[in-house]
Structure 1
Amino acid sequence: MKLSVVIPAYNEEESIPETLKSLYNTLQKYGIEHEICVTNDNSKDNTEAVLQALQKEIPTLVYFTNKGPNGFGYAVRYGLERFTGDCVAVMMADMSDDPEDLVKYYNTMLEKDVDAVFGSRFMKGGKVIDYPKLKLYINRVANLIIRFLVGIKYNDTTNAFKLYKRETIEGIKPFMSPHFNLTVELPLKAYVRGYSFAVVPNSWTNRKYGESKLKIKEMGSRYFFILLYCMIEKFFSRGDYMKKPSRK
């Protein structure tokens, strides 16, 4: 099963080399057929030049430049329309996600034959390193609200680092989120539409370079919009968008 990894990148010239080299070396070590798809989200620094240079070292690296509209969600969606694998993971460009966890996701998908694999930083075996205290508090409150309103038992919906089968991605379209609320839209739609998933622990490490692109004040209403949308679909759509049974 070919694995695609979609990575959005905006002004990540400092972080992207270490991120991509570590990811490639890890996937090569385990012999996993893959492609690494980076969406350069119209960066204003030297991200594109760095990606061009890295292609000489990383044969599985492809990159696209999203001229616009721009934003985290648009960048991820750009990659999700262009990957070629049988399954696709969304990872960050800032070294916050561990490639060893991705291998764990991939093996879990193979072993359990689930439609998606979600990571949790807040279950046994998961961990966060240098997580800002205010963001951590908001994260836990937001996930508690999501669990209560949607009825999902999973405790880390806002975690962007997840793995989906190609059929799952196709089944949860169309995507609506232009920004970081896409991280909530993807798993909640998969849950509401009846796709199976497994949860495994993963780690998260705060970025070494640059600043986080997530602005909490700007995102609150956007997260709520997507949460409300998924609730409306769950309770009022009469199953119109549910996963169709496979024919055998």
Structure 2
Amino acid sequence: MNEGPKLSVVIPAYNEAESIGETLRTLHATLVAEGIDHEIVVTNDNSKDDTLGALRALAAEIPTLTYYTNAGPNGFGYAVRYGLERYAGDCVAVMMADLSDDPADLVRYYRTMVEGNYDCVFGSRWIKGGRVVDYPAHKKLLNRVANTLVKTLFRLKYNDCTNAFKLYRRHTMEGLKPFLSPHFNLTLELPLKAIVRGYSYAVVPNSWTNRKFGESKLKIKEMGSRYFFIMMYCLIEKYFAQGDFQKKNG
């Protein structure tokens, strides 16, 4: 292993028995090959399939894997937050259990963070070098509209806030608490708070590939108002909080 900061990878998993094995084996093999000191933290979000059994078996072959079962309350945000309260590394990434995120991109995030001493590294699927594979057309339309709105309101150049796959240093993640979002809107809460509170970040291209098994857990109809809530919360903080939550230097 190298002497760089320890990387934690937090993965929420709900009914991912078919996907979790390939995801964790690929992730572990990639990080080992790159010599990155790491741990993989999976939150089984009270799955109804055999995700827990799959994790038990995988823990016997992947020495850096730790897993928990979140008995409740359940939901994507709760599952991610469960992992974010329990990781041990110096920096932490959130990734999906369905291998939609590429471990090679995570390596790029990590190297960028270390070399540039950034507080966060964000990926974008919508800049040169980024790509999406089998992205549902209706989901893409909603994604671009939502991210354009965020860009405009917050005066950002960054164009992929809503994707969960991002990397944060420990001190950054601590500075984003308390977390408010119990659902997928956590994916927007974390980067917007980081940006509004003055944490430094780099943007690198990344890829996204649609899942092979199971179905997406994102229910778009249920999430619109929740995304709007967290966006407005961060906007109010940006313009009215008088810097009370800004990054503390030193």
From 136, 143, 148, the equivalent of 1:139 is: 143
Match of 1:184 in 2: 188
Structure 2 residue ranges without an equivalent (≥5): none
From 108, 127, 131, the equivalent of 1:127 is: 131
Q: Distance in 1 between matches of 2:108 and 2:230?
A: 29
From 92, 98, 120, the equivalent of 1:94 is: 98
Q: Distance in 1 between matches of 2:83 and 2:155?
A: 30
State the 1:118 CA deviation.
Answer: 0.1
State the 1:176 CA deviation.
Answer: 0.3
2:73 is matched by which residue type in structure 1? P
State the 1:43 CA deviation.
Answer: 0.4
Q: Distance in 2 between matches of 1:135 and 1:96?
A: 15
State the 1:120 CA deviation.
Answer: 0.2
**Cα-Cα RMSD:** 0.4
Match of 1:83 in 2: 87
From 58, 65, 70, the equivalent of 2:62 is: 58
Match of 2:234 in 1: 230
2:75 is matched by which residue type in structure 1? G
From 194, 200, 204, the equivalent of 2:198 is: 194
Equivalent positions of 1:1-248 (< 5 A) are 1-246=5-250
Q: Distance in 2 between matches of 1:172 and 1:4?
A: 17
3-state SS, counterpart of residue 173 of structure 1: coil
3-state SS, counterpart of residue 211 of structure 2: coil
1:58-94 CA-to-partner distances (Å, cap 9, x unmatched) read 0000001100000000000000000000000000000
3-state SS, counterpart of residue 224 of structure 1: helix
2:122 is matched by which residue type in structure 1? F
Contact 1:121-1:204 within 8 A present in 2 as well: yes
Which aligned segments of 4 or more residues in structure 1 are displaced greater than 3 angstroms? none
The percent of aligned pairs where both chains have the same amino acid is: 72
1:90-138 CA-to-partner distances (Å, cap 9, x unmatched) read 0000010000000000000001000000000000000000000000000
3-state SS, counterpart of residue 180 of structure 1: coil
Contact 1:152-1:191 within 8 A present in 2 as well: no
Q: Distance in 2 between matches of 1:131 and 1:65?
A: 30
Q: Distance in 1 between matches of 2:79 and 2:85?
A: 10
State the 1:245 CA deviation.
Answer: 1.2
Q: Distance in 2 between matches of 1:215 and 1:153?
A: 27
Q: Distance in 2 between matches of 1:62 and 1:151?
A: 39
Q: Distance in 2 between matches of 1:150 and 1:104?
A: 26
